[in-house]
Amino acid sequence: MLYLIGLGLSHETDITVRGLETIRKCKRVYLEAYTSILMAANQESLQKFYQKDIILAERELVETGADSILVNADTDDIAFLVVGDPFGATTHTDLVIRARELGIKVETIHNASIMNAVGACGLQLYNFGQTISLVFFTDSWKPDSFYDKIHGNRKAGLHTLILLDIKVKEQGIENMARGRLIYEPPRYMNIATACQQLIEIEETRKEKAYTENTPCVAISRLGSPTQTFRAGTLKELSEYDSGEPLHSLVMLGRQVHDLELEYLYAFVNDKELFKQQVVQDQEFFKPPPYVAEEEEFSD
């Protein structure tokens, strides 16, 4: 059996009881080590708590060498550990497809992830639209495919969860070109960088999906003892020191429920100012009233 096991968001003890029992019976245990990190744990602390040796599964192994993970999984129990929930990244869907093609049984043990824990900021989960990912821009590469999804969410009155880029064990362009296995230091996008990039794309596209005055919620270290929330406009948060990773951002939709707004007041410095900013954003993005076209009738 191949077991896909979610680890939760922060500590080694965030594992479910069923997940822990399964890990301890497996012959090999892999830890997916590039789509996210446990903020309060590492490989050593996981091995100590799980009482098992752990093999780090980095990007190259999972994306190009997945068959080695599945070796003997038809006769042995193999665990594949994922921070958050196993299906938070499409890479893990691909692993399941490969296993099925080889006739290997698969079982999933779920856990908390950013996709549901984001509700801790006070915004109601059923008011969220499509989730987007925001990558680090370079001088020559500034992808903006996310923009249309934000625009669609806002037209529907829905909030947008924005997942911020992390780069773990990434090769620089020169080292990659020369085939040298030399990796860049880990980088984790912070709130200020994310907001600056969002503002830059709006200034380029000019389609008014949002403005620098659109209210957002900065989420830092969700699920850890030091988790924090800060609500403000894109402009305000573009200068916000969000501290240690990991971070996410939520852009509010044009419709905000009164209970959501009341909850968010705990994360602002000026309640009345924030309320005014939300109202102004709603007015700015309000769609034009629908006017039915007159139909011509003939006898």
Q: Is the bond into 222 cis (omega within 30 degrees of 0)? A: no
Does 198 count as an annotated binding residue?
no
Structural tokens at position 156: 């529907």
Degrees, nearest 5: CA angle 141-206-154: 95
Q: Tokens at residue 130, please?
A: 């499509």
46 is in an annotated binding site: no
CB 177 within 8 A of CB 154: no
Tell how far CA 2 is from the center of its chain: 25
Flag whether 7 is marked binding.
no
Spell out the SS3 assignment of 155-183.
HCCCEEEEEECEECCCECHHHHHCCCCCE
Q: Is 247 annotated as a binding residue?
A: yes
Question: Within 10 Å of residue 288's Cβ, how many Cβ atoms?
Answer: 5
- 27: closest CA among 96, 87, 78, 103? 78
Using CB atoms within 10 A of its CB, is residue 146 exposed (0-12), middle (13-18) or buried (19+)? buried
* Cα 159–Cα 160–Cα 161 angle in degrees, nearest 5: 125
134 marked among binding-site residues: no
The 3-state DSSP composition of the chain as helix, strand, coil percent (nearest 5) reads 40, 20, 40
88 is in an annotated binding site: yes
Between the alpha carbon of residue 92 and those of residues 34, 118, 249, the distances in Å are 12, 21, 24
- Spatial strand order of the sheet with 215-220 comes to 132-134, 160-164, 247-251, 215-220, 228-233
Residues within the annotated binding site?
9, 85, 88, 113-114, 164, 222, 247
Residues within the annotated binding site for S-adenosyl-L-methionine?
9, 85, 88, 113-114, 164, 222, 247
